[in-house]
Structure 1
Amino acid sequence: MDYKAYALVAILMASVASVGVVGAAYAQTLTIETDKDSYASGDEITISGQLTAPTINQPILIRVFDPDGNFVRSEILDAAADGSYSYTFTSGGPLMAKSGTYRVQATYAGTVNQETTFEFQATEETWRTFNIRVGGQTFPVQYRITGGSVQNMVPDEATATLTVTISSTSDGNLQIRLPRNVIDSRDGADGRSGSDLDFAVFIDDENVTPEQTEATVDRRTLSIDFANGTETIEIVGTWAVPEFGAIAAIVLAVAIVGIIVATARYGKFNFAPRL
């Protein structure tokens, strides 16, 4: 009996087995799940999972697709030291307007893919109204927002800008109906006539591209995505109603003239309290 041959075969089999064990130990695995099975508009969706790899040196790509397979959103995440990862966003907005089964995909190193699904019920959000007070007049501006709340709206005639101050709690979306008697963007010499031009939009001084979803004789509607932490959204056109209207300007001018006349006649005002 050739014991050397048997010994050689045994060594080879042991080598193959050890390679398999080492390969399994260094295999890359990825899991993915959502915190709930179903959501409605305005709910927060948390996607999480675990990455196992010999060296975690690349980010994880998260992508969400609607029931028709259309791309909804994506996020690039860095896994923690233990390989865990988590991503939270607020559902709803124009890209999540369809009800049905949504698919979530996680990809690592371009080759390791895992998917999960969740059910989503889209609900029509109610338009809210913010009343801008200008020169004794009220200009209602309708809006709806996810991921935060609107704190203030201020027009500026000099820069043809409507500044919207928000308090954001997560990534979100602002849909705003812009009355043409408040702000507009056109190619006419006066900024109020001619063909429509695109509005310029700045989120915390960074230029972004909004989506115009409606344009009528009386208004234009913009859809603006923003990130968590956003504080101001500036919408720049070619004309905006002045913060101080004509009546307020006249009252202010009369007051200034009165002060000048009184000062010339009686000298400087003395605001010190009488004893």
Structure 2
Amino acid sequence: MKAHLAVFALSAILIASIGMAPAFGQIQSSIVVTTDKSSYSEGETILVTGEVKDLYSGTPVSLIVKNDNAIVALAQLTVGADKKFSTEITAGGTMRTAGTYTVEVTYGTQNRVATTTFEFGGSTSMPTDKVTATTVAIEGSSDLIGYTITGGKLLGIMPDVDANSLIISIDATNDGSITLTIPRSVLDATINGEDDDFFVLVDGEEVDFEETVSSKDRTLTIAFPVGAEEIEIIGTFVIPEFGAIAAMILAVAIISIIAISAKSRLSIIPRY
């Protein structure tokens, strides 16, 4: 009888241990991250918090926020003595497209990575502070688009990565036209290394346009009617959003990973 009870007790302990294994594994993750909400509207604050299992002095957490098409935010976060880190991001800005966004954090090496996701309702605003009387700055590029316009006002230009296009917002008070000198580094249309035609829409309707080209840019003159609001120029390449800043911060993250990896290898070399 005692033998049967012992076997039963041992079996119960074994079953309980197996059932507890997944939860234990989750607790022992090298890094975890979460957001305070599952969805956000434009202008809301996204609170990102996380924790690491082991503290590596002087090593920041590299954070990337992205959707399927672009990186929209990057940061290097300091890990506190309590092994926790946090940051706040405003929904909107470079985060324009509605949909699912992924927050990815890396702590030192690619073996210490965690992700979480949230939904964003989309942006309805158009930045206007980058528009001057003759040029427009595009997010992710240091090259400016030059322009002249008659019959209206240029409100802003932003890239649409999904469509490989530029969206030009205007306020057309009369029939008019806009001439845009677009650097090839910002928008281009090529096939097998040769120039191809752009596809131009005014409020969703295809229109003809005039174009001159050079090795560095392409200049388009597009007519529009009174009341027009949006011009879209579709090519085969558009500048990735957040491109230049992303490259710099990712480079810093890679250097950090290499440095930590080197320290790890040195720490396991036997000393004689």
Identify the TM-score tier after normalising by the shorter chain: 0.3 to 0.5
Taking structure 1 as the reference length, the TM-score comes to 0.41
Taking structure 2 as the reference length, the TM-score comes to 0.41
